Structure 1
Amino acid sequence: MVLQCFALLVFFLSRSHGHTEFIYTAKEEVKLFCRTNTWQISTKSDHIIDVNCTVECVHGEPLKLNNTLKSCSNKHSDKVGEKCPLIASSGFFRCVTALDSGFLFPFKPSPNTVTSYIVATANEEMTTKSEERSSVELTVGEEILLNCSVIFTEEYNSRDFVVYWIKTIEKNSNCVYSYEFDTHIAIKYNHHCNVQEELLSRISNQTEGQNRNIHNIRISNVTESDAGQYLCALQMHTNDKTKGMWKIINNITVSVHKDKASEIAANSADDESYGDKSSTNVESLIRLCVTLPIILGVPITVIVVYLRKKFKTSPRSQAMELQIMQQ
């Protein structure tokens, strides 16, 4: 019971700061939804919040973000829709209950965050290889090496970039590793992430030296919670809005199962427990079968003795006995 309560507490605490959705798309625009209609948006690669707005709908029409005016609200309208979709292009978006200041890191939600979105518009021209897909099946306690090698095309070779390892389960995405290369500042690891402490103790960077093109990570002593879809995603720092800034390098589906020996042992334990319960039930039935006649026999014996005495002491009963014998 204590473990169940602890698990629920962890779940609600993790949900209290919202979650992040990573949307990798070839479309120029996507629809985003926010129950509060209040948005914070970063349209550039610097993560600085450059748009704070409340989406207002007229006759239920979706509203498009105006990157030039840095606004997404119709101030001349007094009609606000219930859940008005925001038509958005590539960038970082945060649906909030109250406005925050500073930067917008989707994988580091604030207490006011309902949902964070990364709209990652695909650009196949950034690297020489297409997206690689694979799947791995593991047993609890094993380790996994996730490989990611980036080979830039000539056009993008000299630009600043960020490499993410993103773990996704359904629509919930978490960052487990990030590497930021900037020619003007030092290299930053996990600057964009909020890696859980439990995972942080089991994950390690396997890149030798400071090779900016290789981003291999190892997760040791895997648990069932490590299962999911792992994306090695590249984001280029560019102000060119005519092309996408993202590309998936590796897409790895990881499945984690319990150790078969442990399962057999657990099943054996269950069988033994069932056998013990069966034996106990049989023994209880035997005791009941033995004791029930004894318990019931006591009043029957008393009744028989009482009747016999009564028949013996009554002359009429003696006559009845004699008549029966003669018959």
Structure 2
Amino acid sequence: MITVVLFLFTCIVDMTLANSYFYYKKDGEESPCKGLWQCDTNLDNTVNFNCTEESDECSCSDSNTFVACVNAFCSNHLYPFKPSPCTKDSYIFAQEQTDLTDEQQNPNSLNPSEGNTVSLNCTFHIKDNYKNHQYVVYWIKTENVVSTCVYSYDFNPHDGLHYNHHCNIDAELSKRISNISSEPSAQHNFHHLTINESQLSDSGRYRCVLNVLKKNNDWKVISDITVTVDKRTTTSKPDPVSTSAVPFYVTAALLVLLLLVIISVMILKKKRIKSRDTKNILEQSSRNKNQEETDCSPYAVGWGQETPQSLVQQPNAVIRTNGHNTNMTEPYSVLKFNSIYQSSDH
């Protein structure tokens, strides 16, 4: 029982550490596995051969083959990008077939900044002699030789359409990635990927690969794009102390300005009051001076209607001329107020 548990634990640990490799080549290559391995030469995800170093019947050296290095023969299925619990490493050996499509491979590169959107385009037209056959479109990301599947489109005329059937996409990346794909019957096929809010970990080589499952199970790389995500330039954050002090400085400046305005208004008001007082003093002085000049005259002139303090009305004034009294009524009378002009003789 303990042996079985340890075996299963070892398989699980190896599965978490398992890597996948995409070898796109022109000639056959021997299996890199040592000890035990499995082969799928039909690319239908079913194991054809369980091989050992002592076995002479394994034909895993052929081109266009899936190979898995394993700890034990615990599965009859082989998915290069979805390893079984016993898988240590997986390999795809793909031989180029240039006649699959009319398009020529044109390597490209993208250099987005961290946080920006990355657009990966793949467009092709399958030639007539390869149409109406099952085919798979992969978007394969390779970084430091290790490959992962970020998208797959599996079309089978008898079984319909399956998305990402061959992939084990990272959960975090699956939230940021989206695709636009054409219908299988379309004249021109396209499988465009969009990676939103790009991260530094998104850097790598992305290849759109077509695999037509006909006879030799031919492969062709349609798009080859190298993505290098630049680290976002961080700007220095403002000092929280100085930031919090800004309102204080603004308030202090406003208070000083208000104080200056109040002082200016008070000074102007004081000057106006002083000017008005000076004017009043000068006017009063002028009136007093005129009054003094009037008081120096021994006579005052009136029209007969003034009060006795200034003018005395004498409607029946008598003038004696040549020993005769004559009554006269004048519109005004002249009175003598200042005694200094009075004669001692009447």
- TM-score with structure 1 length normalisation? 0.64
**C-alpha distance in structure 2 between counterparts of 1:118 and 1:204, whole Å:** 25
Tell me which residue corresponds to 1:250: 223
Output the amino acid matched with 1:32.
S
Residue identity (%): 36
1:171 deviation in Å? 1.5
Among 235, 242, 252, the residue aligned to 2:211: 235
Aligned AA for 2:218?
M
Q: CA deviation at 1:165?
A: 0.2
Matches within 5 A, 1:97-176: 97-176=71-150
Structure 2 letter corresponding to 1:135:
S
CA contact (8 A) 1:48 1:102 kept: yes
Asked whether 1:224 is paired with 2:200, we answer: yes
Among residues 60, 66, 71, which one is paired with 1:92 in the alignment? 66
**Alignment partner of 1:265 is 2:236:** yes
Hey, which bits of structure 1, 4+ residues long, moved more than 4 A? 12-15, 208-212
The 3-state SS of whatever aligns with 1:16 is helix
Q: CA deviation at 1:14?
A: 8.9
Instruction: Tell me the residue number matched to 1:300.
Output: none
Runs of 5+ unmatched residues, structure 2: 1-11, 240-346
Would you say the 8 A contact 2:14–2:87 is kept in 1?
no
In structure 1, stretches of 5+ residues that fail to align are 1-11, 58-62, 64-70, 74-85, 270-327
Q: Which amino acid aligns with 2:58?
A: C
Q: 1:101 Cα deviation (Å)?
A: 2.0
Q: Does the alignment pair 1:19 with 2:19?
A: yes
Residue 207 (str. 1) matches residue 193 (str. 2)? no
Q: 1:189 aligns with which of 153, 163, 170?
A: 163
Question: How many equivalent residue pairs?
Answer: 226
Per the alignment, do residues 18 and 34 of structure 1 end up closer, same or farther by CA in structure 2, a change over 3 Å counting? same
| Coordinate RMSD, CA, aligned | 2.4
CA deviation profile, 1:172-202 (whole Å, cap 9, x unmatched): 0000000011100120000000001000000
Q: What is the CA distance between 1:130 and its match in structure 2?
A: 1.1
Query: Following the alignment from structure 1 to structure 2, what is the Cα–Cα distance between the partners of residues 164 and 245?
Result: 13
The one of the two structures with greater contact order (alpha-carbon pairs below 8 A, sep at least 6) is 1
Deviations 1:2-45 (A, max 9, x none): xxxxxxxxxx9797341001000011x1133224x211110103
Match of 2:154 in 1: 180
Q: Distance in 2 between matches of 1:94 and 1:14?
A: 12
Match status 1:46 vs 2:44: yes
Using the size of structure 2 for normalisation, the TM-score is: 0.61
Contact 1:17 1:109 in 2 (8 A): no
2:54 maps to which residue?
A: 56
1:113 partner letter: T
Q: Deviations over 1:79-138 (max 9, x none)?
A: xxxxxxx73422100000111223110000122111100001110000001112100001
Counterpart for residue 198 of structure 1 = 172
Equivalent residue of 1:105, what SS?
coil
- 3-state SS in 2 of match to 1:198: helix
Contact 1:17/1:113, CA 8 A, preserved across alignment: no
**Residue type at the aligned position of 1:33:** P
